[in-house]
Amino acid sequence: MTTPPAARPPEIHKEPSMLLQKNMLADYFTRVSKAREEGKKIAYTFVPGNLTELLHAFDVVPVYPEINALQNGMRKRSAKFILDAEKIGHSEDVCTYVKADLGMLLNGNVGPTGEIIPEPDILLLSYTGCFTFMKWFEILKQHYPKAEVVMLQVPYQGEGTPTPAMREYIVRQLRESVIPAFERISGHRFEEDRLREQLRRSAEAEEGLVFALQSARRRPSPIDAYFGGVYYIGPMFTAFRGTPECVDYYDTLREEIQNRIDAHAGPITPEGPMAEEKYRLIVEGPPNWTHFREFWKLFYDEGAVVVASTYTKVGGLYDQGFRHNPDDPLGTLADYCMGCYTNLNLPTRVELIEKYIRDFEADGFLINSIKSCNSFSSGQLLILRELERRTGKPGGFFESDLVDPRYFSAANIKNRLESYLQMLDQRRSQAVA
């Protein structure tokens, strides 16, 4: 009796831009692993409010602990790291990005691609509304006592609008604290013209990202602005902003999306082109990374397309008009830092989501409440009720986590999503009647 051949896993459909980004990330992690032997200095920093262009101006290699954590989550490596961090005393309630990062450190600091990530020469903390960042770097300082620490304190927009005094406060810190620290670490003097060139390329790439995000106003939307959107924001929010590779990536992405617009086609999913757009949704909150494809499939199986999301603004509100300005290098860095989503107060977040619901003609909105992420989850029920009151659109609510697989229940999310979409169908039927 012959044994039937094992079923081959379905081929994952990837766009050229996704393949390009995959190669960019692989090259980046290799570059990080070889930075020390090439005589380059390394800065650990964060995604919201990052100063990537300034780091490039000093030829310093940036490393992003959040990106390491989410990449390990997508590769199913984060569960062990989280448990290892909990074994040395970190609570279950601590941000799982932090625990995944610490667990990676405890296991030799082998990065997502299997290459060792060197120790930092400097820990650059751009505080933009997430208090966890400060505690995270306090812990890293204990593990890396030789690393210099420099903090850029970004004022929180408590009143909803940045002031000239806030801007000048950040610029002064850049001049008097951040730049001198990088001059000491790198051995290079600050060259403003080199920073200007980085910022020029950033602004060019930002136009491409905004084209992608705004394309979702069309029917059908040629993109999914949440699941597909996390790919689109990758180069802009991390190590590539300000580089020629970043500009090339967004040129490729723009061409892909324009082709789908011309063909009146919907988004590309891991299983190929989406058949029909049945529901247009807005999503608040980060995605789950440990079951990312399964999470996405719950949506596209139902014909639900996310036309705008708040997570894709965590590294900058480019779709609201911001562009890096090379004519005002330090001022534009200050503006960028203040404009990240986690630095917005709750009324401003409500106004932004309300704008998305109206501008993108959404049928409703969903909140993915992340168990261990207070900077997103605090106040989300208030956001939900206020948006329902203002827009008349129904809101839905489900829960998961960033990179802890213990807190992802596909069955629970599927039930809630199906119930929510059934409610939308019922409302549509009543409206027709």
161 and 252 both lie in a single domain: no
Question: How sure is the predictor about 90, in pLDDT bands with cuts at 50, 70 and 90?
Answer: very high
Q: CA-CA distance, 306 to 394, in Å (whole number)?
A: 15
- The answer to whether residue 8 is domain-embedded is no
Question: How sure is the predictor about 131, in pLDDT bands with cuts at 50, 70 and 90?
Answer: confident
Q: Average of pLDDT values for 43-50?
A: 93
247 and 185 both lie in a single domain: no
Question: How sure is the predictor about 306, in pLDDT bands with cuts at 50, 70 and 90?
Answer: very high
299's CB contacts (< 8 A; 6+ apart) are 224, 227, 281, 305, 306, 417
- The answer to whether residue 11 is domain-embedded is no
Range of the domain at 80: 16-193
182 and 254 both lie in a single domain: no
Q: CA-CA distance, 427 to 268, in Å (whole number)?
A: 28
Q: CA-CA distance, 314 to 331, in Å (whole number)?
A: 20
188 and 248 both lie in a single domain: no
Q: Is residue 101 over pLDDT 50?
A: yes
165 and 242 both lie in a single domain: no
Q: Give the predicted TM-score (pTM) of the model.
A: 0.93
Burial 100-120 (b: 16+ CB within 10 A, else e): bbbbbbeeeeebbbebebbbb
61 and 157 both lie in a single domain: yes
- Contact, 393 vs 362, CB < 8 A? yes
Q: Is residue 387 over pLDDT 60?
A: yes
Pick the closest to residue 279 from 303, 310, 309 (CA basis).
303
Pick the closest to residue 42 from 27, 22, 63 (CA basis).
63
pLDDT score for 172: 98
Looking up residue 96, the CATH number of its domain turns out to be: 3.40.50.11890
Greater pLDDT, 158 or 417 = 417
Domain boundary among 158, 193, 228: 193
81 and 40 both lie in a single domain: yes
pLDDT score for 8: 52
Pick the range with the lowest mean pLDDT from 5-19, 125-139, 151-165: 5-19
Terminal CA-CA length for the chain: 61
DSSP 176: I
234 and 299 both lie in a single domain: yes
R_g over Cα of the chain? 22
- The answer to whether residue 73 is domain-embedded is yes
150 and 171 both lie in a single domain: yes
The average confidence (pLDDT) of the chain is 93
pLDDT score for 10: 58
199 and 188 both lie in a single domain: no
pLDDT score for 330: 98
Domain boundary among 193, 221, 239: 193
Question: How sure is the predictor about 127, in pLDDT bands with cuts at 50, 70 and 90?
Answer: confident
Q: How many independent structural domains does the chain possess?
A: 2
Instruction: Give the three-class secondary structure for 369.
Output: strand
CA atoms within 13 A on the CB side of 134: 10
Pick the closest to residue 205 from 166, 242, 179 (CA basis).
242
Looking up residue 296, the CATH number of its domain turns out to be: 3.40.50.11900
Question: How sure is the predictor about 336, in pLDDT bands with cuts at 50, 70 and 90?
Answer: very high
The values of phi and psi at residue 368, to 5°, are -100, 105
- The answer to whether residue 137 is domain-embedded is yes
Domain boundary among 193, 226, 247: 193
- The answer to whether residue 3 is domain-embedded is no
pLDDT score for 65: 95
Question: How sure is the predictor about 236, in pLDDT bands with cuts at 50, 70 and 90?
Answer: very high
Pick the range with the lowest mean pLDDT from 59-68, 140-149, 153-162, 285-294: 153-162
- The answer to whether residue 244 is domain-embedded is yes
- The answer to whether residue 346 is domain-embedded is yes
212 and 161 both lie in a single domain: no
How much helix, strand and coil, in percent to the nearest 5, is found in the chain?
A: 55, 10, 35
141 and 225 both lie in a single domain: no
- The answer to whether residue 171 is domain-embedded is yes
pLDDT score for 1: 46
